[in-house]
Structures are given as structure tokens and as C-alpha cells.
């Protein structure tokens, strides 16, 4: 005899021997007694020996069958332990990631699109295994890692504005300001030496992504967070208004990992994945 014996036949034999008959075995395995009998006969044909003798209505193990039963029982017991271990891995706690809504939409939506594990995204004020956040430069700690710096730059829909007059054109064109930022248009101008200019945003909004969508729609020029706008720039939906308009401010994006996460776990693998995505994003932002 060559090849492996079908597992179903072995299982039918083991349960029949343990339960003392086809009917009881069928109840345990949720099949018919006829199916159990067929599996046992198939096994007898494969091994070339009789496995049961009948004594009235009772099945009695033959000598060959009795010798094989204990090793077979141990084998199924080990398979049960292996199955339990696999289920334990699959049911491990889901990795929780907290991030502001703008980073969830601009970064995590793409970063997790092809991730094969289970994660849960929560608000920044909730406890999480991993935190993605924007903070003052120098926030990095033992369990934190700087991903990239914050860069502000004026953006607009392609062909909507022509910066022929330099920054003076900002005084007579509609401006969009993201009031969630500590810096605004005046601060950007001061950083470039543009003191005394009268810049009055036409639209103020509290959400960075909304500000970007308004600019894409042609509502005006937005002082945008470039790390959030890189995809729109790369796709041609937004374009820099000034070739030298980038302004690096004193903030940075960080990824903080909660203590107690094994470096060999799926959690650590996801952290490494997010860091790799951030590094790719930083390269793209610096080239735009």
C-alpha cells in the first residue's frame, strides 16, 4: 500500500472504536451510520486486514485494530491541539490604530488597502496600540518615531491662477485658509519677508481635507499641508502656485508604539509597514 490513508476513514474508525458502534459514531460526526460503515470498509480494504468482529450487535476490535487505536487517538489529539493553536493566533487581539480623521483619509486608507491583517481605527482620544499624530518637532520619545516633517505650500487647481506678479497676486485672488493650522497666510508671507501685505482669506474651514477639496474645485488658493496633498498634486488635481512656495514648519508626523508589543508579532510587522509607507510618501513629497 502506498500513499496516505484518507483522514475521514481514519476518523470514522477511531470514533467507532471509541463509541462502540456505527450509530454512536455517526451521531458524533453528524453523518449517517451507513456513511460510517462505508468509511470503515474502505479503510479495511486499504490496510488489508479486518478491523472489527461482530459479537451479536456489538463491534469488537480485532488485534490489529487494537494495536493501532492508541497511536491514532494520540494523533487526533495532537491535531486538535494544533487546530486550537491556530485558532488562538487568528483570534489574537486586533491591533488598534488611533489617528486624526485627516491622516486616516489621506494616509491610512491607502496604507491599509492591501494589508492582510485585522486592524481597528479609532479617534485620537481613544486608547490604541499605535498612534499616528502630528506634533511639535522634537516630540520623539523612546517608543515614538519621526516619520516626516510638516510642509505648507500654496496650491490651486491647474490653470486657475497665474503667479506672474509674485506673492502680490495673493492680494486680489480668493484665498482658502485652514484654521486648524497654527500658521496661516500671514505667517507664510512673513516667513518669506512679505510684510504689510493685505491678505484676507475668502473661505476659512476647520478641516485640512475640506480645504484641499475646495481648492480642487477652483474655489481659490489654499495654504495646504503638502504631506496630505501629495496624492492630489501627483494626480494633477492640484498644482503649486509658486515654484519656491514650500515652507517647513516646526511640526512633524510621528508613529508611536505602545509598550508591550512584541517585536516579532503581527503588530510590529504592521508598524514596520506603516513606516515604509511613510518613507515612500516622504520621497514623493520631496519630489513634488
Express each pLDDT in 119-167 by its tens digit. 889 988 888 888 899 888 876 654 678 899 999 999 999 988 876 668 8
Residue 2 in domain: no
Q: Do residues 253 and 227 make contact, with C-beta atoms less than 8 angstroms apart?
A: yes
* Local structure of residue 94 (DSSP, 8 states): P
CATH code at position 145: 3.40.190.290
Same domain, yes or no, for 112 and 210? Answer: yes
Residue 132 in domain: yes
Q: CA angle 59-64-67, nearest 5°?
A: 100
Does this model's pTM top 0.85? Answer: no
Coil vs helix vs strand at 60? strand
Residue 14 in domain: yes
Distance CA 184, CA 223 (A): 7
* Local structure of residue 200 (DSSP, 8 states): -
Q: CA angle 151-155-156, nearest 5°?
A: 165
- Backbone Cα Rg of the chain: 33
Residue 1 in domain: no
Q: Cα-Cα-Cα-Cα dihedral of 140, 145, 149, 155, to 10°?
A: -130
Same domain, yes or no, for 244 and 282? Answer: yes
Residue 139 in domain: yes
Which domain-ending residue is among 33, 62, 90?
90
pLDDT in tens, 14-31: 888 888 888 888 888 888
Same domain, yes or no, for 128 and 271? Answer: yes
Residue 128: which domain range?
Answer: 95-287
Same domain, yes or no, for 86 and 101? Answer: no
What's the domain count of the chain? 2
Angstrom CA distances, 29 to 9, 15, 25, 36, 63, stand at 12, 8, 6, 9, 25
Amino acid at each position: 500500500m502506498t500513499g496516505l490513508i484518507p483522514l475521514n476513514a481514519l476518523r470514522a474508525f477511531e470514533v467507532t472504536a471509541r463509541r462502540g458502534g456505527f450509530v454512536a459514531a455517526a451521531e458524533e460526526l453528524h453523518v449517517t451510520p451507513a456513511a460510517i460503515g462505508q468509511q470503515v470498509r474502505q479503510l479495511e480494504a486499504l490496510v488489508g486486514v479486518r478491523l472489527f468482529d461482530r459479537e451479536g450487535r456489538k463491534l469488537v476490535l480485532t488485534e490489529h485494530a487494537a494495536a493501532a487505536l492508541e497511536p491514532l487517538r494520540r494523533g487526533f489529539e495532537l491535531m486538535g491541539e494544533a487546530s486550537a493553536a491556530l485558532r488562538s493566533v487568528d483570534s489574537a487581539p486586533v491591533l488598534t490604530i488611533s489617528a486624526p480623521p485627516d491622516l486616516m483619509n489621506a494616509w491610512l486608507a491607502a496604507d491599509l488597502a492591501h494589508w492582510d491583517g485585522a486592524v481597528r481605527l479609532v479617534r485620537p482620544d481613544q486608547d490604541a496600540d499605535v498612534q499616528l499624530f502630528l506634533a511639535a518637532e522634537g516630540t520623539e520619545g523612546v517608543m515614538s518615531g519621526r516619520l516626516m516633517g510638516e510642509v505648507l505650500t500654496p496650491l490651486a487647481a491647474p490653470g486657475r491662477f497665474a503667479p506672474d506678479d509674485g506673492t502680490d497676486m495673493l492680494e486680489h485672488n480668493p484665498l482658502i485658509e485652514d484654521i486648524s493650522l497654527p500658521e496661516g497666510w500671514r505667517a507664510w508671507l512673513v516667513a518669506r519677508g512679505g510684510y504689510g501685505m493685505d491678505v484676507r482669506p475668502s473661505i476659512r474651514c476647520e478641516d485640512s481635507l475640506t480645504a484641499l477639496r475646495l481648492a480642487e474645485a477652483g474655489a481659490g488658493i489654499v495654504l495646504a499641508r503638502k504631506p496630505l496633498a501629495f496624492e492630489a498634486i501627483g494626480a494633477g488635481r492640484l498644482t503649486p502656485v509658486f515654484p519656491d512656495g514650500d515652507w517647513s514648519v516646526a511640526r512633524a508626523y510621528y508613529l508611536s508604539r505602545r509598550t508591550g508589543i512584541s517585536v516579532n508579532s503581527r503588530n510590529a510587522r504592521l508598524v514596520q509597514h506603516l513606516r515604509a509607507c511613510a518613507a515612500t510618501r516622504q520621497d514623493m513629497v520631496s519630489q513634488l
